[in-house]
Amino acid sequence: MELKEIEINPKMAQEMLNYNTCNRPLSKNIVTKYARMMKRDEWYLSHQAIAFAENESGQLVLVDGQHRLEAVIQSGISVKFSVIYNAVQTPYIDTARNRTFIDNLNIYNKTSRYTKTMMGILNLITSINKIKNITQTDRQQFCDYYYEIFLSVDNIYKTSKTKSGGCPLKTALFLAINENRNKTNLKEKLENYMYIFNTGNVSVDDDYGDYVKEMRDHYYLQNREFNKIYSSNSASLRRKKLTSIFLYSIECYINNRKYIASFDMEDRLLKKIEKQYGKIKK
């Protein structure tokens, strides 16, 4: 195999794509994401090469790199790449597990500060609000901006030893903590909320605890209801609805309001996500 370091401009990228005859279907979202990174000077030369091989007829074939080359064209700028010629096609190497963006953040920054909780919450937030073309820099900025909030979520969730709720509950805690971070009794309120959610036990002097228990029962009913949905978007629908229910009930409890199931819960959720995600995009 022959390795070269080449600065590829849009014209060269188009010429290379003429040999693209055996790749998987192109993802426009990935191309747009890569192009955005290139325009923001966030694309770096690496060992991950654009690769060419020869087919049985001796003709040149692009076997790896179509999305990167399309991104060069879309960005309109020149980008430096490692390029391999006479590549050996080995489709079965390293297919068991891809690195997550959290893996990459920790490796790149030589740290372990980025956690699975961050990944789960950010993935759910971007999925619910249909935020696309998220770059690695976007993700790191989000995780760094809300780092202390993520730690609070992990601490409250682990302390409560809950095994229910999962990522929707963690995401609701994240949004609620950030929105109400100036409340003096926030930590105590959230710990009480999680205790009631976990056990169903309500203290006699907790006027609003019964509403949390009400929501808890509603959650389990909803959980069974959503499990009956077998359409392709059932998982996404379920996670969005559960996050909405949790967020609304948490805010009712910490603000001493009565919990009444509301039709605008999902709209409130979307507005909060848009507001909080928008803070780091300004």
Say which CATH number the domain at 78 has: 3.90.1530
Listed residues 36, 61, 85: the one ending a domain = 85
Average pLDDT, the chain: 82
For 177-215, how does the pLDDT look when each residue is reduced to its tens digit (9 = 90+)?
Answer: 998 888 888 988 999 889 888 888 887 677 778 778 877
Torsion, Cα 143 223 259 216, to 10 degrees, reads -90
Q: Do 119 and 254 share a domain, yes or no?
A: yes
Q: Do 76 and 160 share a domain, yes or no?
A: no
Determine which helix (DSSP H) or strand (DSSP E) holds 198, and give its type and residue range. Answer: helix 186-199
Q: Is residue 206 in a domain?
A: yes
Q: Do 26 and 68 share a domain, yes or no?
A: yes
Residue 127 has pLDDT above 60, yes or no: yes
Q: Do 34 and 137 share a domain, yes or no?
A: no
List of E strands, the chain: 2-8, 50-54, 60-64, 79-85
Q: Is residue 91 in a domain?
A: no
Q: Do 6 and 60 share a domain, yes or no?
A: yes
Q: Is residue 95 in a domain?
A: no
Q: How far apart are CA 261 and CA 85, in angstroms?
A: 62
Q: Do 161 and 205 share a domain, yes or no?
A: yes
**279: confidence class by pLDDT, cuts 50, 70, 90:** low
16-28: average pLDDT: 82
Number of independent structural domains in the chain: 2
Query: How far is Cα of residue 24 from the mean position of the Cα atoms in its chain?
Result: 24
Taking the whole predicted model, whether its pTM rises above 0.75 is answered as: no
Q: Do 199 and 76 share a domain, yes or no?
A: no
The pair of three-digit structure tokens given for residue 192, joined into one six-digit string: 């009480």
Amino acid at residue number 17: L
Query: How far is Cα of residue 96 from the mean position of the Cα atoms in its chain?
Result: 21
The pair of three-digit structure tokens given for residue 173, joined into one six-digit string: 């805690």
Q: Do 170 and 235 share a domain, yes or no?
A: yes
Question: How confident is the model at residue 151, as a pLDDT?
Answer: 93
Q: Do 59 and 110 share a domain, yes or no?
A: no
CA-nearest of 1, 9, 81, 78 to 46 is 81
Q: Do 22 and 71 share a domain, yes or no?
A: yes
Instruction: Find the domain containing 56 and state its range.
Output: 2-85
CA-nearest of 57, 60, 47 to 87 is 60
Listed residues 58, 85, 112: the one ending a domain = 85
**93: confidence class by pLDDT, cuts 50, 70, 90:** very low
Q: Is residue 275 in a domain?
A: yes
Question: How confident is the model at residue 229, as a pLDDT?
Answer: 46
Q: Is residue 96 in a domain?
A: no
Q: Do 67 and 179 share a domain, yes or no?
A: no
Q: Is residue 57 in a domain?
A: yes
Listed residues 35, 54, 85: the one ending a domain = 85
Q: Do 112 and 180 share a domain, yes or no?
A: yes
